[in-house]
Amino acid sequence: MNDSAMERKIFSSGYALSIPGKSKNVNEDFVIFYEKEPEGTVGASNLYVLTDGLTGSWHPEISARFAAKKILHDYFKSHEFVEANKLALAIRNASNEIQAYSLAQGKKMGSVVVSIAITEGKAVIGTIGDSRVYIVRNGKVYQITEDQKSDQAEEVAPHESHHVPETRAIGLEKDIVVDIYDGIDIHPNDVILLASDGIISYIGKDEILAASQADTPKEIAEALIENGAKQEHNSDLSVIAIKIYDENGILTVVRQPGTLPEDTDLNKETHELDLIKRSRPRQKPAEGTVPGGKRRLGKWPVLALLAAFAAVGIYLFASGQKGGGIFGPRYTATPTVDPVLATMAVIQQTSRAEENIRLSMTPTATLEPSATVAPTDVPAFIDIDNPTVGALTATPGAPEVDTTAEVATATPTAVLTPMTPTPIPVDKGPITSEIDQREMVYVIPGAFTLGSDIQKDGLANAYEELPQLEVYLDGYWIDKTEVTNADFLKCVQAGSCLGSTYMNLYNPDDAELPATYVSVVEAEKYCEWAGKRLPTEIEWEKAARGHDGRIYPWGDEQPSQDNRLANFPGFKDKVTNQSDGIFKVGSLPDGASPYGALDMAGNVWEWTSTPFLTDYYQTLADNAPEGTDIIRNPKDPDITANNVIRGGSAADTELSNYLAYLRSTNRSYVNMISSFYIGFRCILPDTEP
């Protein structure tokens, strides 16, 4: 057969997006993929997985995250030669672990799964539940999978209601049988879609065909999510768009390999989700929040109009001048597709600091692949114009469990002083601090732009980094690099600091590494001993980005393997041969800030003195005296909360979102006392005019 899979090289390139329902605090969907395939390699596969936790079950977001990551890991770890068996066993393994864990907890957990493996011109689909796979070919839309529910398959019309009262899911029974669709031929220019039940509610044939005309998988996925986001959707919206290319077409594609397969367990996912939920409260912007541009402070003559548009976006008005515009839902659109809003810095704890007790799982018995794989014949496509109808069976979903929790909020009062004339700033240059003998660079007094411009920065967090404000700060010096182990040892030997048992203070090989496993309290003690203090998050941001609103310390260029701007997850420095973890301070001078501070993006996060408050910038704006154009020397909010960390790190757990975290405007915090990936630096206020 001239067009056989073995004679033609077929390549896939995918992109995934997921956003939570408008009334939900947590996304119960998860999307992940990995494209292992080196061009033309026989036997290499690409795998795409979409999971949807059962609403009403215990922590559906955790079961969805775990299932997707576990399936990805076990699929690529498997030594099974039959693709269908490999995929089915990976799904079953994830199901058995969820089931064992939920029994130990005395709770019901479950997740819908749809996944597709693509290799050598063939596709294999493994599915349990009601998420769907579509193929768009030659202007026609085919539904490949059948919804595993009690209804019969029906034609999908645009915007039809999609409600599945009963659906199968992994985690609800032991050794669940996975539905396998094997031996599906794929062709260049095919578009394959994995869609959650939420997005299915808002797309039909017309929307799928229109979106599939886009050039790239990213544009296809964005178009479909955008369509659903226009609705008053209460369901999570998730889609993975895959486009198929021949060996010539693939050369024009900028491919995104996705997320490296990594083993996980449910305790780890529970821990990380707890950090995310605590650190990133999903709140709507307060009334008067400006979604883009800069805000001229004062009372607003159009509050009624703003309230009317609150459901669809918030407009910027400044003395009658409009800036910014409507902003829509925040997409989770990162190259490695972590869908939890791309807004939280999940800090990696190393094995030395890990104190969580992991659940002892009963090993899954060896499975017979033949018992898992069902059906293996090439399936007939379901033409949406002429749908194939067949009776399906389903098992009841998990019982509803109340998982709501109260969230306390605090309203700080920002301390502001009237703007007074200031002399022309003078750059006083670097100094060496007296006690700890550290080099410090000078941040000249003056105004700078605080916060993000979402029109310029597509990774900006509209809930936390807006409105943009003009802020004046007096001059100060800041440590050129993070405090090192050698520096911190001096404080310990002076009796002013306590060293953690996890720190390598006495190893000369680690002397120039940033001091980590330091709590914010110990960081404050060090700075006090050295005659300095921790920077506020606003002081940190100005030192990192200067006055011109740049995205990263060095400018707007994203860091990559081809430049030496930041140590991010997976970065390998071709000059020093450093890789995989924390570098010595000052290793990447090309990433210097406008004032000469180094390592303010990547390597390790840095403590600030500021307690985390989601709408801190809005609070500053609301409490500014009427008619004030520039806020002068704002103080930290008077609340009790975890301290803000800034700058991102090289932790592997941040691989999905490192470009967002490395931005100088990114605001994060964590519920942990210390971490292998959190350090600090100090500032010295300039007390002389």
CA distance 239 to 237: 7
The pLDDT assigned to 311 comes to 37
Mean pLDDT of the chain: 76
Residue 294 falls inside a structural domain: no
Cis peptide before 38 (omega within 30 of 0): no
The pTM for the full model equals 0.45
DSSP class of residue 527 equals: H
pLDDT in tens, 588-627: 999 999 999 999 999 999 999 999 999 999 999 999 988 8
Q: What is the mean pLDDT of residues 82-99?
A: 90
State the total domains in the chain. Answer: 2
Give yes or no: residues 379 and 447 share one domain: no
The pLDDT assigned to 384 comes to 52
- State whether residue 430 is helix, strand or coil: coil
Residue 586, exposed/middle/buried by CB under 10 A (0-12, 13-18, 19+)?
Answer: middle
pLDDT surpasses 80 at 274: no
The pLDDT assigned to 263 comes to 83
Residue 324 falls inside a structural domain: no
Show the tokens assigned to 518: 């330091």
Percent of the chain topping pLDDT 90: 43
Do residues 52 and 32 lie in contact, with contact meaning Cβ atoms separated by under 8 Å?
no
Rounded CA Rg of the chain: 27
According to the per-residue pLDDT averaged within each range, which of 85-99, 223-237, 274-288, 506-520 is highest?
Answer: 506-520
Per-residue confidence band for 383, with pLDDT thresholds at 50, 70 and 90:
low
Give yes or no: residues 376 and 443 share one domain: no
Give yes or no: residues 440 and 375 share one domain: no
Percent of the chain topping pLDDT 70: 72
Show the tokens assigned to 88: 């089915």
Give yes or no: residues 378 and 458 share one domain: no
pLDDT surpasses 90 at 646: yes
Per-residue confidence band for 37, with pLDDT thresholds at 50, 70 and 90:
low
Give yes or no: residues 162 and 263 share one domain: yes
The pLDDT assigned to 148 comes to 65
pLDDT surpasses 60 at 283: no
The pLDDT assigned to 167 comes to 76
CA distance 91 to 85: 10
Residue 2 falls inside a structural domain: no
The pLDDT assigned to 348 comes to 33
CATH number at residue 261: 3.60.40.10
pLDDT surpasses 90 at 506: yes
Do residues 440 and 479 lie in contact, with contact meaning Cβ atoms separated by under 8 Å?
yes
- State whether residue 589 is helix, strand or coil: helix
pLDDT surpasses 60 at 478: yes
What share of residues in the chain are helix, strand, coil (percent, to 5)?
Answer: 20, 20, 60
- State whether residue 241 is helix, strand or coil: strand
Residue 400 falls inside a structural domain: no
According to the per-residue pLDDT averaged within each range, which of 129-143, 326-340, 414-428, 599-613 is highest?
Answer: 599-613
Q: By mean pLDDT, which of 72-86, 260-274, 314-328, 665-679 is the weakest?
A: 314-328
Give yes or no: residues 375 and 461 share one domain: no
Per-residue confidence band for 394, with pLDDT thresholds at 50, 70 and 90:
very low
pLDDT surpasses 80 at 87: yes
Give yes or no: residues 374 and 486 share one domain: no
CATH number at residue 474: 3.90.1580.10
Give yes or no: residues 454 and 376 share one domain: no
Out of 323, 355, 383, pick the residue that ends a domain.
Answer: 383
Residue type, 519: S
Do residues 242 and 116 lie in contact, with contact meaning Cβ atoms separated by under 8 Å?
yes
Residue 274 falls inside a structural domain: no
Give yes or no: residues 374 and 477 share one domain: no
Give a three-class secondary structure readout of 294-332: ECCCCCCCCHHHHHHCCCCCCCEEECCEEECCCCCCCCE
pLDDT surpasses 80 at 288: no
The pLDDT assigned to 77 comes to 85
Per-residue confidence band for 275, with pLDDT thresholds at 50, 70 and 90:
low
pLDDT in tens, 181-237: 987 888 899 999 999 988 888 888 888 999 999 988 999 999 998 888 877 677 888
Q: What is the mean pLDDT of residues 517-540?
A: 97
Q: What is the mean pLDDT of residues 650-677?
A: 91
Per-residue confidence band for 344, with pLDDT thresholds at 50, 70 and 90:
very low
Give yes or no: residues 444 and 376 share one domain: no
CA distance 198 to 386: 23
Give yes or no: residues 376 and 460 share one domain: no
The pLDDT assigned to 56 comes to 83
CA distance 483 to 493: 15
Do residues 238 and 339 lie in contact, with contact meaning Cβ atoms separated by under 8 Å?
yes
pLDDT in tens, 423-446: 556 788 899 999 999 999 999 999
The pLDDT assigned to 51 comes to 94
Residue 111 falls inside a structural domain: yes
Give yes or no: residues 24 and 85 share one domain: yes
Q: What is the mean pLDDT of residues 653-667?
A: 93
Q: What is the mean pLDDT of residues 630-646?
A: 94
pLDDT surpasses 60 at 392: no
Residue 414 falls inside a structural domain: no
pLDDT surpasses 50 at 319: no
Question: The domain containing residue 481 runs over which residues?
Answer: 430-689
CA distance 583 to 599: 10
Out of 349, 383, 417, pick the residue that ends a domain.
Answer: 383
Residue 436 falls inside a structural domain: yes
- State whether residue 63 is helix, strand or coil: helix
According to the per-residue pLDDT averaged within each range, which of 195-199, 259-263, 345-349 is highest?
Answer: 195-199
CA distance 605 to 284: 27
Higher pLDDT, 36 or 611: 611
Per-residue confidence band for 336, with pLDDT thresholds at 50, 70 and 90:
very low
Do residues 52 and 66 lie in contact, with contact meaning Cβ atoms separated by under 8 Å?
no
